[in-house]
Amino acid sequence: MRVFFALFTYFLPVDIRPAKWLHDLSAPSHAENTKSRKEKQRSQKSEFTQCIKKKHLRSILHLWDTNPNSNALATEIKLTKKCWPALWPRGAIMTSISGAAAFSLTSRSFTASDSYTWYCLLVVASFFMWIRLKKCTQNTLICIMDNFQIKFLQSMPYRIISRGFGQLGDINIWPFFRPHLYKFFVCIWKIDMKEAVDEDLENYRTVNDLFRRPIKRQLRPIHSTADVVSPVDGKVMQSGEASQGVVEQVKGMTYSLKNFLGPLKEQDGTDNLPLHKYARSLMHNPRKNSLFCCVIYLAPGNYHRFHSPAEWRMEHRRHFVGDLLSVNPRIACIMPGLLVINERVVLTGKWKYGFFSMTAVGATSVGSIVIYDDKALQTNKANVERGTYFDHKYENGGVLFSRGDSVGEFRLGSTVVLVFEAPKKFNLKLREGQSVKYGQAVSFPVQ
């Protein structure tokens, strides 16, 4: 039992080990000086640990930068070798516990209770080992595991899956089964049917009709004085300036506007500009203005039509063929350039300050993106190479929109990205993590 106890406490965080409990119980009640001394030691130890982490992170990033993506396997092997001295003791102990647990199942000398004990010990040890590794968020093993997660996600046939969901969603449901089936979706995704124009579930012929339901306009009044309003119901993932040509996907992970919007139209796909020059080339008046970006995520239960966020003229459409990975924030935390990888429809044009764009990004089960004024657009088509894009210029100078006008729709959860030019004093009223409603003010006129 002493061996088991030692192995178990080895995986416990330092602050909750039994030895510390016994020490605290035996400590004098008037030991304020001792407490302050301990806090000082902890702070020094924390600073030292942070220094080690930063040094370790710099070495990892340098190793990633010096190895091309085409040689990813060799990079992972080098990363594993680099971190092996810190991992092999815990790995050896975990292997020993796993072997003992497996031996206890096949050996007659162990009873059933012994086997359960070994299994519980293995689970607890694995949990605390993972906690220890997670505390160092830049640990090489975590980087490698995230890389394998990325490869696994990219290998899934999401385009085929999304087409299958689309076909299932268009099946006409018998009226008798509609309320029972739709109540399940309403409960799972917390859909507020009181906002729908038609609250009777039996009147929705298909599942896709339920998700494309119109809502009562009086519940979404368009802000009367705002320059830009929210085009959708959703959650703000990012809001701020993007004049350097990069947009923050999540904290510490960015993607470039050049990859997201594509090459400039007048350069015919030969755009080799640096990111900041690309951003300046988008603007009509780069001396006085800046680029701003707003990313809004739509959960499956949200209203799934998107509207015009401002008074602008839509002149050009660019359809990128891509993957259809989930755009859930949990996936965005581990998938670099998620919005660049996914299929999307980029609508660009002009408004009173200059450049304006609105992009609808597809996601898993959201293979169909519809633009009401563009009947030629077809998304998630079979036998089309990923990474290609198709341009279309609207006739007669484009399509003129006012704030709140209907633009398009998609199914289940997805994302809408606004990138527009505005004066440098332009102030976005949204913050990350904020829930917004269609028609809510995003910014007000510059004074």
- The pLDDT, as a whole number, for residue 230 is 95
211-218's contacts with Cβ under 8 Å and 24+ in sequence apart are: 211/169, 211/300, 211/304, 211/411, 211/412, 212/304, 212/305, 212/409, 212/411, 213/303, 213/304, 214/305, 215/303
- The pLDDT, as a whole number, for residue 114 is 59
- The alpha-helical segments, DSSP class H, found in 13-31 are 18-26
Task: Give yes or no for residue 170 having a pLDDT over 60.
Answer: yes
Cα–Cα distance for residue pair 357/349, rounded to 1 Å: 6
399: enclosing H helix or E strand:
strand 399-401
**Contact 149/334 with Cβ under 8 angstroms?**
yes
- The pLDDT, as a whole number, for residue 384 is 82
* Helices then strands, each counted (H, E), the chain: 13, 16
Cα–Cα distance for residue pair 403/227, rounded to 1 Å: 9
Q: Which residue has the tokens 């527009």?
A: 420
- The pLDDT, as a whole number, for residue 110 is 52
The residues, any chain, with a CB within 8 Å of residue 198's CB and separated by 6 or more, are 204, 213
Task: Give yes or no for residue 393 having a pLDDT over 80.
Answer: yes
Instruction: Give all strands (DSSP E) within 230-353, no chain letters.
Output: 234-241, 246-250, 253-256, 289-298, 305-307, 312-320, 344-351
Which range among 18-22, 36-40, 377-381, 382-386 shows the weakest confidence by mean pLDDT?
18-22
Q: In whole angstroms, how far apart are CA 28 and each of 16, 25, 255, 376, 395? A: 19, 8, 55, 80, 84
Task: Give yes or no for residue 277 having a pLDDT over 50.
Answer: yes
- The pLDDT, as a whole number, for residue 340 is 87
Supply the DSSP string of 341-356, one letter for each residue: HB-EEEEEEEETTEEE
Closest CA to 21 of 39, 32, 9: 9
- Average confidence score pLDDT of the chain: 75
- What is the model's pTM? 0.67
Cα–Cα distance for residue pair 144/152, rounded to 1 Å: 12
Task: Give yes or no for residue 77 having a pLDDT over 70.
Answer: no
**Contact 387/321 with Cβ under 8 angstroms?**
yes
CB neighbours (10 Å) of residue 45? 11
- The pLDDT, as a whole number, for residue 163 is 78
- The pLDDT, as a whole number, for residue 83 is 56
**Mean pLDDT for the stretch of residues 134-148:** 47
Q: Which phi and psi (to 5°) does residue 407 adopt? A: -110, -45
Q: Where are the domains of the chain?
A: 2-25+33-153, 158-211, 218-443
> How sure is the predictor about 391, in pLDDT bands with cuts at 50, 70 and 90?
very high
**Mean pLDDT for the stretch of residues 123-134:** 59
Q: Which residue has the tokens 């996914």?
A: 342
**Mean pLDDT for the stretch of residues 158-164:** 77
- The pLDDT, as a whole number, for residue 157 is 74
Task: Give yes or no for residue 55 having a pLDDT over 70.
Answer: no
Cα–Cα distance for residue pair 208/168, rounded to 1 Å: 9
**Contact 429/213 with Cβ under 8 angstroms?**
no
- The pLDDT, as a whole number, for residue 47 is 62
Tokens, residue 342: 């996914």
Which range among 150-154, 164-168, 265-269, 420-424 shows the weakest confidence by mean pLDDT?
265-269
More confident residue, 111 or 305: 305
**Contact 373/409 with Cβ under 8 angstroms?**
no
- The alpha-helical segments, DSSP class H, found in 27-71 are 32-66
Instruction: List active site positions.
Output: 233, 307, 414
> How sure is the predictor about 349, in pLDDT bands with cuts at 50, 70 and 90?
very high
Provide, rounded to the nearest whole percent, the portion of the chain with pLDDT above 70.
62
